[in-house]
Chains A and B, each alone.
Chain A
Amino acid sequence: MAEYEPWNEDRAKDIIAAHTGMEGSALPILHALQDAFGCIPMETEPLVASALNISRAEVHGIVTFYHEFRRKPPGRHVLRVCRAEACQSVGADAVAAHLRAALAVDWLGTSADGAVTLEPVFCLGLCATGPSALLDGQPVGRLNAARIDRMLETLS
């Protein structure tokens, strides 16, 4: 599970400054910000805009274009579940329904106890061992209701 830093403008400026020497640095900057804060806080948009000499609207456009950038920090664990066809063919829809019911959340939601954020993902390249997911970045395969229940029990 990941530990995120609380929002801090100076820290954000340092992260941005560390990348501005790269060509086309917007995505590397946004990734670094999300790695630090767990999301791209709204407050970062004017900072990125000023560092890259583009408008705030452009920064907002970039952040919202890419599915992976969050607007608020996730729960203590992030479960990214594949929704693509290869996993569908071996029961991914049922796995997703079971997860949403067990965690009482919809996609992109965080369980009430703050333990797990459920994110949909389109393909993890684990297409012969599905249904697949990444739990805090670690791959898990051949998911079914029983395996999910065992996995969720270990998360707090």
Chain B
Amino acid sequence: MTRVFVPRDAAALALGADDVAAALAPHADIVRTGSRGLFWLEPMIEVETPEGRIAYGPVEADDIAGLLADGLLEGRAGRLRLGVPEAIPFLARQTRLTFARCGIVDPLSLDDYRAHGGMAGLAKARALGPVGTVETVLASGLRGRGGAGFPTGIKWKTTAEAKGDRKFIVCNADEGDSGTYADRMLLEGDPFSLIEGMAIAALAVGASKGYVYTRSEYPHAVATVDKALAIARAAGILGAGFDIEQRVGAGAYVCGEETSLLESLEGRRGQVRAKPPLPAHKGLFDCPTVINNLVTLATVPCILRDGAAAYQAIGMGRSRGTMPIQLAGNVRHGGLFEAGFGVTLGDLVNDIGGGTLSGRPIRAVQVGGPLGAYFPPSLFDTPFDYEAFAARDGLIGHGGVVVFDDTVDMSHQARFAMEFCAAESCGKCTPCRIGSVRGMETVDKILAGQNVDANLELLRDLCDTMKFGSLCALGGFIPYPVLSAMNFFPEDFRRGQRLAAE
């Protein structure tokens, strides 16, 4: 029977991919894959033909009978036909390295994984040895994709040189930022890339045990990773020398912060630790620990396989390689866009994203999750680069780009930022724990038209205190969305004043 590839990525499932697979099952050999990341076309199915794969989408179960009658299995049916997936402009413009296999392979087939370049990085690392492996990662210029952008090679070198009876590799898969789903896509669509990356890290620093800390909001990812770990163990990739265990979070956003994550893994409240000591010296159970974001770890195999120079050649400034940018929210073409650093925000949301889903003008774009600044269209020339965003009081975070149309009330978004911080603060430091509550109250007063000028000034002062006085990025960065909303959309904070005057 003809093979048809149907994604089982959670976003495709949300749009009915299981029903599509069930409708096709009597007629074709169904292979469930991850998603290519073109979510406005999901469920996007691909038919294997002698000319290669032909994509159709968005397909609903009700479409299947008609498509089959029109020659779907030969790739002849004309309706919903997207053609060769790689030629779809959204995909054709990308540089897929970390996500090269996602949406193409069966995520739980090691044969597929190997046939698409998998395990070559680990073989190379074994040939290079620990020192050579660390040097390769250093030379690639890879920086942490969780948001902080710290050079991965330096983290690894520090852990490798640290003394300890045991060492750990921890994968931060607690992807809590709104607008981000890169981790989820890899966990569901290419979990072996993470396992290979962690095995390489273990070899580089001399670790014997790894943990994947996955958020509980991703039940499909959790299930896929557990299966992938069992397969890797049975194949001897994991085992006596290095093994990996998955742990599941419990809905605390702050556990995406690395020291809070370590506390949670040790079985405590996810409260942030003061640094130093760095996790590289004293991390999990007080042992030297490499803690990296999932995308960082899953990128390491292709760096080892293709060499540091190939990766380093992509990007701009000090941001080397590719970034999986996630277009989300009110955007016409929402999806994962992996490209070298440097593409501008305007190109991303207008050209690649196709503007808003609602068809209304874009008013603001929040980049980097709930701690990221809201950028107005006047900043759309900002290139996607750690330093360029920081220079404009923003951050790229984990690469989430959330688009809002002109119906958004930015004072409401500023209030939400403070409300979110109040709900998610771990409570360890005062600026974050108390400041977020006071910030919420102050925005409420501004919206009610009470002493608006004085309260706006107070809110600025409070943001300053939180920015410089908080222990971690939650309290430290929550001022970004608040201040950017105040700076770029001041009129939204004056509505209450007008109402009060009337």
Q: Is B252 part of the contact surface with A, judged by Cβ < 8 Å?
A: yes
Contact with A127, one of B180, B216, B270 (Cβ below 8 angstroms): B180
- Nearest CB in chain A to that of B265: its residue: A24
Complex: A137 Cα to B221 Cα, angstroms: 12
Complex: A80 Cα to B251 Cα, angstroms: 12
Minimum distance in angstroms from A62 CB to a CB of chain B: 6
Q: Is B208 part of the contact surface with A, judged by Cβ < 8 Å?
A: no
Question: Given A90-B330, A126-B14 in contact, is the A28-B252 Cβ separation under 8 Å?
Answer: no
Which of B45-53, B78-86, B398-406, B453-461 forms part of the interface with chain A?
Answer: B398-406
Q: Is A118 part of the contact surface with B, judged by Cβ < 8 Å?
A: no
List residues 105-155 of chain A with CB under 8 A from any CB of chain B: 121-130, 132, 134, 137-142
Question: Given A86-B329, A139-B14, A141-B14 in contact, is the A61-B177 Cβ separation under 8 Å?
Answer: no
Question: Given A85-B413, A142-B15 in contact, is the A127-B250 Cβ separation under 8 Å?
Answer: no
Are B269's CB and A128's CB within 8 A? no
Question: Given A85-B402, A141-B11 in contact, is the A127-B219 Cβ separation under 8 Å?
Answer: no
Complex: A138 Cα to B265 Cα, angstroms: 26
Contact with A85, one of B42, B269, B329, B335 (Cβ below 8 angstroms): B329
Contact with A along B223-258 (1 / 0, CB 8 A): 000000000000000000000000111111100000
A31: which B residues are within 8 A, CB to CB? 216, 248, 250
Question: Given A31-B250, A84-B178 in contact, is the A125-B357 Cβ separation under 8 Å?
Answer: no
Complex: A127 Cα to B35 Cα, angstroms: 14
Are A26's CB and B328's CB within 8 A? no
Contact with B14, one of A24, A86, A90, A140 (Cβ below 8 angstroms): A140
Are B405's CB and A125's CB within 8 A? no
Contact with A125, one of B175, B329, B420 (Cβ below 8 angstroms): B175
Are B10's CB and A139's CB within 8 A? yes
- Nearest CB in chain B to that of A123: its residue: B178
A86: which B residues are within 8 A, CB to CB? 178-179, 328-329, 400, 402
- Nearest CB in chain A to that of B253: its residue: A122
Which of A1-9, A10-18, A65-73 forms part of the interface with chain B?
Answer: A65-73
Are B330's CB and A129's CB within 8 A? no
Residues of A in contact (CB 8 Å), total 43
Are A30's CB and B329's CB within 8 A? no
Question: Given A89-B329, A127-B326, A127-B329 in contact, is the A132-B14 Cβ separation under 8 Å?
Answer: yes
Q: Is B416 part of the contact surface with A, judged by Cβ < 8 Å?
A: yes
Residues of B in contact (CB 8 Å), total 61
B14: which A residues are within 8 A, CB to CB? 126, 129, 132, 139-142
Are A137's CB and B219's CB within 8 A? yes
Q: Is B156 part of the contact surface with A, judged by Cβ < 8 Å?
A: no
Q: Is B463 part of the contact surface with A, judged by Cβ < 8 Å?
A: no
- Nearest CB in chain A to that of B427: its residue: A65
Q: Is B492 part of the contact surface with A, judged by Cβ < 8 Å?
A: no
Q: Is B468 part of the contact surface with A, judged by Cβ < 8 Å?
A: no
**24 examples of A-B residue contacts, CB within 8 angstroms:** A24-B265, A24-B285, A26-B267, A27-B249, A61-B269, A66-B250, A66-B252, A67-B251, A88-B329, A89-B330, A123-B177, A123-B217, A127-B181, A127-B334, A127-B400, A127-B402, A128-B39, A128-B327, A129-B14, A129-B334, A130-B329, A139-B14, A141-B15, A142-B14
- Seen from chain A, the residues whose Cβ lies within 8 Å of a Cβ on chain B are 23-28, 30-31, 52, 58, 61-62, 65-69, 80, 84-90, 121-130, 132, 134, 137-142
- Seen from chain B, the residues whose Cβ lies within 8 Å of a Cβ on chain A are 10-11, 13-15, 39-40, 42, 175-181, 183-184, 216-220, 247-253, 264-271, 285, 326-331, 334-335, 357-358, 366, 370, 400, 402-405, 408, 413, 416, 420, 424, 426
